[in-house]
């Protein structure tokens, strides 16, 4: 019998699969729907200070096999509505509430309101690459000093575990990871989507309503694994304080989960896999993970964790 | 933002729209996955814009023959006009992608055409009604659940309100094509007034009986479709069935405003008749991603649009009017 349970700050879960932020998860009905599936934990859609509408469509397309593009525009009901919702609802799985804001004051205010309403842990979305339509300006997650400011402000405001979600769209992700952890993040989530763009040559314009978009799905998995390994190795070398990492990026199978755990992830998040299989993806992934662990003789996730890092220890 | 007017209609050089339509249909076919679905919006030039009624048009495009043949009633396509009717895209929120079920299909020996019937109900649908031959319409799909396929001896009651006519027409046409005279099809179409009435000729061609209602009485019976439904439900099936020899199942399909469908489904439930409704909700992604199209604990995009009537009647959030 394989033990799949995971314990991380604010997250005691029966298995390591969490819903990734941005997939369903904007309201009680859809969170309950995912909670009823095989997922071990939930992450809400990113909640901001005010309600936001979806960008014009197309908002999500599969541009080629395993290449999923999206630009939703952080649509969310706003912190007031969402806080009222979590006050009145009880979910059968741990809920990590994802938040965003335009600056540290907004982040802190949203965090404070949600924790007052009962949020047990927060994920800080520092890194949505499409929050500013058409903008080429750097986002918070690309500027370590802003990451420190935001994470620090939220850590001052609330006393719950904070997971800083990092963007892969930087040169050295260990700098951003270090900034987040130094400022008080109890964990890291990586990666967010990869900056992307696709054009239809017949109509001569981008195929996503917002023009610029983010790439997710199996195409980004090797990128996510590389970023995860870089951060995990830096933690092993004590260059960064060691904290739990929630790994994500194109996970669609039990073997993918094992890959992320072996690169140091404590748990993983699953998003784009739901495009093809909806919430049934969780059970399917779990079954495969369990049989792979049985076949290869792992009794629990701790035995697997970081196994693939050993071979890379000497790499700088 | 300054972008070129890339709609063929707006290009200075005159393009052969018919030839372009064929190559775009071929291109669309190359994107179809093993389920016959395109997950990428593929632009097709409009071949013809057919006037149906006041503010109601049918947009005709060339599609791969395989796509037309495998379409089942209820399924929807995400439809997108990448440019507005003036060839620009400055007012970006006019050009969003929205779900439409297919209204009519014509299959020839080597080509096929799909018609999407659009009613001007707001910014985006209004923009679609102002399009012309040569403008781009991009399709992504088909997505969603379908109405049960009837078998010989079955009876269909099709109840539509307004633009809910389109999936009812495809359900009727598909049943007639499959079963000929072995299925009995009775339809009720409700409209606000005679001016917006559409699809009547199309429905007459495929239905055994057709009843029209208008809110103001300017055409057919005055009132909602629910005004004539009790009589149809109370009639002994064998009495209304003139051309069906076997005794099959009677099913009611409906599409229209939710308050209307709620009453219709309740009437069907009271009469002990199986019922299905094609739902319309704000449905931006179609891929179970955004989670904003929920009815009860189901996603309209992948667990709909066709949903079981008795199940819908149990949902607290079913039956209110929704904005388009």
Give pLDDT, residue B321: 84
Please give the helix or strand (H or E) that residue A89 lies within, else none. Answer: none
Percent of chain A clearing pLDDT 90 (strictly above): 87
Kindly tell me if the per-residue pLDDT of B86 is higher than 70.
no
Kindly tell me if the per-residue pLDDT of A256 is higher than 90.
yes
CA distances from residue A228 to A20, A35, A153, A156, A163 in whole angstroms, order as listed? 16, 26, 25, 27, 15
Establish if A193 touches chain B: CB-CB under 8 angstroms: no
Q: From A22, which residue of chain B is nearest by alpha-carbon distance?
A: B290
With helix as H, strand as E and coil as C, how does chain B read?
CCCCCCCHHHCCCCCCHHHHHHHHHHHHHHHCCCCCCEEEEEEEECCEEEEEECCEEEEEEEECHHHHHHCCCCCEEEEECCCCCCCCCCCHHHHCCEEEECCEEEECCCCEEEEEEEECCCHHHHHHHCCCCCCEEEEEEEECCCCCCCCCCCEEEEEEEHHHHHHHHHHHHHHHHHHHHHCEEEEEEEECCHHHCCCHHHHHHHCCEEEEEECCCCCCEECCHHHCHHHHHHCCHHHHCCCCCCCCCEEEEEECCHHHHHHHHHHHHHCCCEEEEECCCCCCCCCCCCCCCEECCEEHHHHCCEEEHHHHHCCCCCCCCCCC
Partner-chain residue, chosen from A134, A203, A274, that has the shortest CB–CB distance to B136: A203
Q: What is the tens place of the pLDDT at every residue in A162-200? A: 999 999 999 999 999 999 999 999 999 999 999 999 999
Give pLDDT, residue B239: 45
- Overall pTM > 0.90: yes
Give pLDDT, residue B270: 95
Q: From A203, which residue of chain B is nearest by alpha-carbon distance?
A: B6
ipTM for the whole complex: 0.89
Q: Which of A181, A289, A171 minimizes the C-alpha distance to A227?
A: A171
Catalytic option among A124, A128, A155, A231: A128
Confidence of residue A277 (pLDDT cuts 50, 70, 90): confident
Q: From A202, which residue of chain B is nearest by alpha-carbon distance?
A: B43
Q: What is the tens place of the pLDDT at every residue in A78-118? A: 999 999 999 999 999 999 999 999 899 999 999 999 999 99
Give pLDDT, residue A204: 87
* Whole-number Å distance between alpha carbons of B252 and B207: 14
* Active site annotation includes A128: yes
Establish if A75 touches chain B: CB-CB under 8 angstroms: yes
Interface of A with B in 101-140 (CB under 8 A): 134
């Amino acid at each position: 019998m394989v033990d799949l349970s995971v314990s991380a700050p604010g997250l005691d879960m029966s298995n390591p699969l969490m819903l990734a932020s941005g997939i369903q998860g904007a309201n009680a009905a859809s969170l309950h729907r995912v909670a009823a599936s095989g997922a071990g934990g939930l992450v809400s859609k990113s909640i901001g200070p005010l309600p936001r509408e979806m960008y014009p469509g197309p908002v999500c397309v599969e541009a080629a096999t395993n290449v999923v593009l999206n630009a939703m525009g952080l649509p969310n009901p706003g912190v007031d509505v969402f806080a009222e919702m979590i006050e009145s609802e009880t979910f059968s799985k741990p809920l990590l509430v994802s938040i965003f804001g335009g600056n540290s004051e907004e982040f802190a205010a949203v965090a404070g309101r949600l924790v007052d309403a009962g949020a047990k842990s927060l994920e800080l979305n520092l890194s949505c690459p499409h929050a500013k339509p058409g903008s080429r300006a750097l986002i918070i997650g690309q500027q370590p000093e802003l990451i420190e400011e935001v994470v620090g402000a939220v850590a001052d405001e609330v006393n719950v575990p904070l997971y800083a979600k990092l963007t892969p769209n930087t040169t050295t992700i260990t700098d951003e990871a270090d900034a987040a952890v130094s400022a008080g993040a109890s964990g890291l989530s990586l990666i967010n989507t990869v900056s992307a763009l696709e054009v239809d040559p017949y109509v001569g314009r981008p195929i996503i309503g917002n023009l610029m978009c983010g790439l997710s799905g199996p195409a980004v998995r090797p990128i996510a694994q590389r970023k995860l390994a870089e951060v995990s190795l830096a933690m092993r070398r004590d260059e960064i304080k060691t904290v739990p990492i929630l790994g994500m990026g194109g996970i669609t199978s039990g073997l993918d989960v094992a890959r992320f755990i072996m690169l140091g992830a404590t748990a993983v998040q699953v998003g784009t896999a739901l495009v093809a299989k909806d919430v049934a993806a969780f059970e399917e992934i779990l079954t495969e993970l369990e049989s792979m662990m049985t076949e290869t003789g792992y009794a629990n996730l701790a035995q697997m964790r970081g196994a693939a890092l050993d071979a890379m220890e000497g790499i700088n | 933002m300054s972008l070129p007017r890339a709609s063929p209609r707006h290009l200075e050089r005159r393009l052969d729209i018919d030839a372009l339509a064929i190559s775009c249909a071929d291109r669309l076919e190359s994107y179809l996955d093993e389920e016959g679905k395109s997950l990428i919006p593929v632009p097709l030039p409009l071949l013809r814009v057919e006037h149906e009624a006041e503010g109601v048009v049918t947009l005709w495009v060339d599609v791969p023959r395989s796509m037309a043949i495998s379409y089942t009633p209820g399924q929807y396509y995400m439809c997108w006009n990448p440019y507005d009717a003036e060839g620009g895209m400055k007012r970006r929120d006019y050009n969003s992608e929205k779900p439409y079920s297919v209204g009519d299909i014509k299959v020839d020996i080597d080509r096929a055409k799909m018609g999407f019937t659009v009613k001007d109900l707001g910014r985006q649908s209004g923009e679609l009604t102002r399009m012309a031959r040569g403008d781009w319409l991009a399709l992504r799909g088909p997505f969603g659940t379908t109405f049960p396929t009837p078998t010989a001896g079955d009876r269909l009651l099709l109840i539509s309100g307004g633009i809910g006519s389109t999936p009812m027409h495809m359900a009727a046409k598909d049943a007639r094509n499959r079963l000929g005279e072995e299925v009995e099809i009775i339809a009720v179409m409700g409209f606000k007034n005679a001016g917006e009435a559409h699809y009547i000729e199309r429905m007459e061609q495929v239905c055994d009986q057709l009843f029209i209602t208008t809110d103001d009485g300017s055409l057919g019976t005055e009132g909602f479709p629910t005004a004539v439904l009790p009589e149809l439900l109370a009639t002994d099936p064998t009495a209304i069935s003139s051309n069906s020899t076997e005794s099959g199942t009677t099913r009611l399909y409906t599409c229209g405003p939710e308050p209307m469908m709620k009453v219709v489904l309740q009437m069907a439930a009271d009469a002990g008749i199986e019922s299905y409704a094609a739902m319309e909700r704000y449905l931006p992604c179609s891929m179970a991603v955004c989670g904003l199209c929920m009815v009860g604990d189901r996603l309209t995009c992948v667990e709909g649009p066709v949903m079981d009537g008795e199940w819908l009647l149990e949902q607290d959030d079913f039956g209110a009017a929704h904005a388009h």
